[in-house]
Structure formats: structure tokens, C-alpha cells
Structure 1
Amino acid sequence: MAKPLILITNDDGITAPGLRALVSFMKDLGDVIVVAPDSPQSGMGHAITLDSTLYSKKMKVDLSNANIVEYSCSGTPADCVKLALQELLDRKPDICVSGINHGSNSSINVIYSGTMSAAIEAGIEGIPAIGFSLCDYSWDADFSHAENHIIKIVLEALKNGIPKGVVLNVNIPKIKQKELRGIKICRQAKANWKEKFDKRTNPMGKDYYWLTGEFELLDKGDDTDEWALANGYISVVPTQFDLTAHHVIQDINNWNLNEH
């Protein structure tokens, strides 16, 4: 039987340590192909390139893994998946794994995440997909404590499949391996960013702004991703890309929208 084909992408760029760690975790599970941005694309969400050209270059970042095929792409994470599926791969991947992101994509952060948007793009195409993130923004972050858990999640997804219309959002706490208590299947916590803009003036007298803010947790439930991460667990949130609020359709139907 052919080995499973594993598509790997991210939003931090093809040379990011998190992606290199994920490649090393996946290399013995199947045939690996990497299609990732040529520069950081964090916070791009599900943006795609429409008004400029895309470029792709076959390259070799990790010389120790001669069998791994890698492409850099000038576009967004979602572009990378689209290009991989339509142009670069000779068969449909069995799974797409995105990450490992440098920083959390738990709770409301999933909305802005390029990491998760790449996974969602694969999910839209009917490919089982998982986004992995570590709650550590450092470029020198240590991903080793999560290796066995990441491999286990991917193997289980390959074995059991992921329901259509669902993508897994996996977040890993920044703790030592001995402190890691396991994996929790969770819901997304209710939270928001209390945002501020730091207004400054450049030497030419023109105002500019830096976006800042504080994460505001609005959810005290013990079944959320934020609770799991705070208590030493890897959180796994099944995320759907059908944004329909099915539970309010009847309420809106009761509006007098068709009366003249």
C-alpha cells in the first residue's frame, strides 16, 4: 500500500522552527510535501491573492531529509494550499497539517489565524486537516514536549478520518513535558481582544499607529480550550467552516421581511 501523503504548510514561513519541527514529526508517518509561504504571513486569516501574481519555488530547507519535497510560495497560507492542490501535487493528500504556529490560536484567535485558515482551505476541499499551535511566540520555542501527542493525533486522524466540514484546532501549552497532563477535546472559549492603538508621529509629522491590546477571557467554563491550556492539557477543538447560525434561522424567519 502507498504511504499516506501528508501536506504541510504554515503561516510563519517555510524556514520557521515550528514548521521544521512538524516536518521532523511527520517524516516517518508518510510521504511529506511542504508548501509554505516564503515569508511570515501571521494574522492573514483566509486572505487569498487576487490582484498580483503568485510565485512558487522548489527548494530544500532541510538537507537531512532528502525525500521530502518542498516549495516556497509568495502568497498567503490559503494560497499555499490552493496552489499545492491545483498545481504542485500529483495526487490528493491524505491529510493536511498546518503549523506548528509560534503563538496561540485558541479561542477567538482562530478567526485571525493564517495557520488555521490553511487547514480550513484543505478542509473545504474535503481533505482531513489539522492546525497545530504552541502558546509560545518565541522563535526559539521548544516543540519537543508535544511530539508524541502530535504524532498520535495525526495517526488517529488518518485511521478514523475527520468528519466532513470539520477541521481540528490543536493548541499546545508552553510547559515542560513532565507537566503535560494529556489531551482534552474542548469547545472554543468565549473571549475577545480589548484593543488599543498606540498613536505616534514620524519625523515628517505624519501620524501612524501600532495595534496593541489585551486578551479578555469571558468564559469560566471548564470545558474550553482556554481552561485546558491553563491546566496543562493540549486542547483539541473541532472547528466548522459552515458559519451559518442554524439555531436562529427560525427567529429571523419570524421577521416581517416580505411584507410590502
Structure 2
Amino acid sequence: MTKKPLILVTNDDGITAPGIRALIDVMKDLGDVLVVAPDSPQSATGHAITINNTLYLNKVSKPNAAVTEYSCSGTPVDSVKFAVVEILKRKPDLLVSGINHGSNSSINVIYSGTMSAAVEGGIEGIPSVGFSLLDYDWNADFEQVKPFVKKIALEVLQKGVPDGTVLNVNFPKLKQKDIKGIRICRQAKAIWQEKFDKRSTPQGKDYYWLTGEFVNLEHGEDTDEWALQNGYVSVVPVQFDMTAHHAIPQLNTWNL
């Protein structure tokens, strides 16, 4: 009898978020599922880990439940580490993170807790995918993207991912029938033009909210931003070796 794939599910919006519930629903049909996710929202935590505070892990699934679930008091990356080091007896066949409430395309991948969880999986040698939907509403309609999640997950289970990479998948906010297909893309060059919204408490103490405007600096038809704006699912292979290999020859000309 063929052993079912073991699938680890996590996210950064917290274990109760509708996005992760949708992801769990899809993964239950593909294999044996373990969920380890933050107990509260951890958006934009990047690849942070907890080293100066205690960590707590709580089993939140009911006895004999179809899916075993744990909440973690730390970050998305902490959650992955807990799953791999403390809970699982063997390496998962797949790690999926998300479905994030909001896009993680372009430069947003740097800040994303969703994608950092996937990257941590990749570092551990687990084929890993981060899924995000371009809809920030807590009640976003994730049903529309479930077939695409399943299709991509099955491909990864069957074929793996290229060495040293994880996949960053972003969905446009469209009905399933209006999504034109899936495109393999590169990360668009974009920036956040940021500012701090300065306010004052009733006692006169200043405080700040970070705000900003997302600016796409290019419009090539091979980018994730173009795909999303034109009705496609974008799939970007992301590498976690951050060496700028193209810069090494130039640096070797320096008088060091």
C-alpha cells in the first residue's frame, strides 16, 4: 500500500484565519495533514524567529480529528521549526503556507511571513509553496482559487521543485471562471514609497503609523505584477541563497 504524502500547513495570518482553513480543506484530499501555525496574526514578520521570549505550543485539534493542529505563540518560522524538530517523525513531502490575505508579489516577498515560512521549509529540504490572494478582506472568497491550489500542490508532490528554491504563488481577486491560467514569472521590480503618519495621544505624546504607496517600476509581461493585473495566477521560483553571483567578478577587481 502506498503511503499517503505528509503535508505540513502553516501561515502568518494565524491558525483561525479563513485562508488557512481553505488551504487545509484542499490538502486533506491530497495526503495526511499536520497544521502548525501562529496563534495570532504575524503578517510582515519576515524570517523572524523567537530567541528572547518563551515559546508555547498548544494542540488545538480535537481527539480523533481528521487533521492534527497546533497553535504556536511565535512566528511563522517558529511554527515550521516546531513542526520539523518537535512534532514530526519524518520529513514532510510538502509544506504549504497561506492562503495569505493579501498579495505577496514583487518586493513584498521580503517582508512576508507567509513566504518566510515557505523559505524555512525549503532550507529544511522540504518542497515548499507560499500561496497568497490579492484580497485583504478577512472574508475573502478563497473558494475561487482552491482548484489552482490543488493543481499546483499536485505538481509539486509529483515533480518536486528545483534545488534551492521555493514557489511564491499569487492569485488575482477574480472568480474562478475569469482566471485566465497560470504563468511562471519573475519578481517585478517595485518599491514602497513610505512615510510615517504622525499623530498624538491625548497626553501630547507623538506616535506613528507606517504607511506608503506601492510603486511598480516596470511593466514587463513576464513579471508577477503583470500576471496579476491581467488575470493570471503568478508562480515565481524564489531562491534562498542570497548571494549576488553576478557581482562576484566585479568585486574581485577591487584592491582588497
Aligning the two structures, in what range does the TM-score lie when normalised by the shorter sequence?
Answer: over 0.9
Q: CA shift at 1:164, angstroms? A: 2.0
What is the CA distance between 1:126 and its match in structure 2?
Answer: 0.4
The answer as to 2:21 corresponding to 1:20 is yes
The answer to whether residue 74 in structure 2 is matched with residue 79 in structure 1 is no
The one-letter amino acid of 2:65's match is A
Q: Measure, in 2, the Cα distance between the counterparts of 1:105 and 1:16.
A: 17
Q: Write out aligned runs for 1:25-40 (5 A).
A: 25-40=26-41
Aligned to 2:115: 116
- Tell me, in whole angstroms, the C-alpha distance in 1 between the residues paired with 2:180 and 2:15: 30
Runs of at least 4 residues of structure 1 off by over 3 A?
none
Aligned to 1:242: 241
Shift of 1:66: 2.1
For 1:151 and 1:240, locate their aligned partners in 2 and report how far apart those are by CA, in whole Å.
23
Task: Look up the SS of the partner of 2:117 in the other structure.
Answer: helix
Q: Please report how far the alpha carbon of residue 220 of structure 1 lies from its aligned counterpart in structure 2 after TM superposition.
A: 1.4
Please report how far the alpha carbon of residue 163 of structure 1 lies from its aligned counterpart in structure 2 after TM superposition: 1.6
Q: Report the TM-score when normalising by structure 1.
A: 0.96
| Residue 99 of structure 2 corresponds to residue 104 of structure 1 | no
Distance 1:220 1:103 in 2: 21
Give the corresponding residue for 1:148.
147
**What is the distance in 2 between the residues matched to 1:11 and 1:129?**
15
Deviates more, 1:2-11 or 1:65-74: 65-74
Tell me, in whole angstroms, the C-alpha distance in 1 between the residues paired with 2:51 and 2:163: 27
1:216 aligns with 2:215: yes
- 1:129 aligns to what? 128
Overall identity of the aligned pairs, in %: 69
Tell me the CA shift for residue 241 of structure 1: 0.5
Cα distance between partner residues in 2 of 1:121 and 1:42: 16
Q: Distance in 2 between matches of 1:100 and 1:51?
A: 29
1:71-91 Cα offsets, whole Å, 9 max, x none, are 000000000000100001121
Deviations, residues 39-62 of structure 1 (Å, cap 9, x unaligned): 00000000000001110000128x
Which position in structure 2 is the counterpart of 1:41? 42
Q: 2: CA distance between counterparts of 1:219 and 1:126?
A: 33
Unaligned runs of 5+ residues in structure 2 are none
CA distance in 2, matches of 1:32, 1:40: 21
Distance 1:145 1:250 in 2: 47
Task: Measure, in 1, the Cα distance between the counterparts of 2:143 and 2:247.
Answer: 44
Amino acid in structure 2 at the alignment position of 1:146: V
- Looking at structure 2, the residues matched to 69 and 237 of structure 1 have their Cα atoms a distance apart, in angstroms, of 30
SS of alignment partner, residue 107 of structure 1? coil
Task: Report the number of matched residues.
Answer: 255
Q: Secondary structure at the match of 1:216?
A: strand
- Give the AA of the match of 2:250: D
- Please provide the CA RMSD for this pair: 1.1
SS in 2 for 1:151: helix
Instruction: Look up the equivalent residue of 1:44 and give its one-letter code.
Output: T
1:245-260 aligned within 5 A: 245-257=244-256
Alignment partner, residue 60 of structure 1: 61
Q: Distance in 1 between matches of 2:219 and 2:105?
A: 15
Residue 205 of structure 1 deviates from its aligned partner by 1.2
Deviation for aligned residue 1:165: 0.8
Quick one: distance in 2 between partners of 1:214 and 1:222? 22
Q: TM-score, normalised by structure 2?
A: 0.98
Aligned-residue offset at 1:67: 1.4
Give the distance between the partners of 1:110 and 1:21, measured in 2 at CA: 21
After superposition, residues 177-188 of structure 1 pair within 5 angstroms as 177-188=176-187
Q: CA–CA distance in 1 between the matches of 2:118 and 2:104?
A: 12
The corresponding residue for 2:51 is 50
Amino acid at match of 1:253: N
